[in-house]
């Protein structure tokens, strides 16, 4: 399933989100596909809003399938796991990304160490969620206005970066999504629940559309 064509960060008309973990077979695939699923729920087709969602791994298993337990987690949420192929994180992925969301602080540090002015647009997922919760949606561009969702998303990243030094994590562990690789399905489901919970306010802030109530 493709959600857009390639384009450098800041390219008019598109906003590229890159999820990063270690092997790109557990956490980042779950996060990528849950993000896509949530965007589809809100927008019908994320391409309408110009949002592109991808993932890669700092020690990515290039060409590998998603872990079976990760697929099971996505099925729990009704998300699509089909067609996934693991990727090793490359400079080009970081250059093209408008927002990089990592599983852990170590991943964040590795992305930033690659350069490409990535520091202001790279966060751990849970860190970004914490910052987004502190941003007044009324200060962001109207997603239905002339600037659309892409400019809203860029404004959200700028606002989060500005808050980062002021709104610190309650503990070092608060910004981590731990690796379920090799763990039984219940642990994968626990990690999937953490990711889903962290993503909900982020997708709502990006799109201006709250999650549908069951």
**Which sequence spans correspond to the domains of the chain?**
15-203
pLDDT (tens digit per residue) in 77-131: 999 999 999 999 999 999 999 999 999 999 999 999 999 899 999 999 999 999 9
Which residue(s) pair with 54 in the sheet? 18
- Over the stretch 38-53, which tens digit does the pLDDT of each residue have? 999 998 876 667 899 9
Give φ, ψ of 55 to 5 degrees: -150, 165
Looking at CATH, the fold of the domain delimited by 15-203 is given as Rossmann fold (3.40.50)
Q: Is the pTM of this model over 0.75?
A: yes
CB contact set of 173 (below 8 Å; sequence gap of 6+): none
């Amino acid at each position: 399933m493709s959600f857009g064509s390639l384009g450098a960060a800041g390219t008019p008309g598109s906003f590229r989100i890159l999820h990063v973990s270690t092997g790109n077979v557990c956490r980042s695939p779950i996060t990528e596909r849950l993000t896509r699923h949530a965007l589809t729920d809100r927008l019908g087709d994320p391409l309408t809003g110009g949002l592109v969602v991808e993932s890669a791994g700092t020690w990515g298993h290039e060409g590998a399938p998603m872990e079976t337990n990760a697929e099971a987690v996505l099925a729990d949420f009704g998300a699509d796991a089909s067609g996934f192929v693991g990727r090793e994180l490359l400079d080009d992925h970081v250059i093209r990304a408008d927002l990089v969301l990592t599983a852990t602080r170590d991943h964040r540090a590795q992305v930033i160490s690659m350069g490409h002015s990535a520091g202001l647009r790279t966060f751990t997922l849970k860190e970004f969620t914490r910052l987004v919760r502190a941003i007044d949606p009324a200060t962001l561009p109207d997603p239905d206005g002339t600037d659309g969702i892409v400019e809203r998303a860029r404004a959200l990243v700028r606002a989060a970066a500005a808050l980062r030094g002021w709104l610190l994590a309650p503990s070092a562990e608060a910004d981590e999504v731990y690796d379920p690789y090799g763990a039984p399905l219940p642990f994968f489901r626990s990690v999937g629940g953490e990711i889903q919970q962290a993503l909900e306010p982020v997708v709502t802030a990006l799109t201006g559309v709250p999650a549908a109530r069951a």
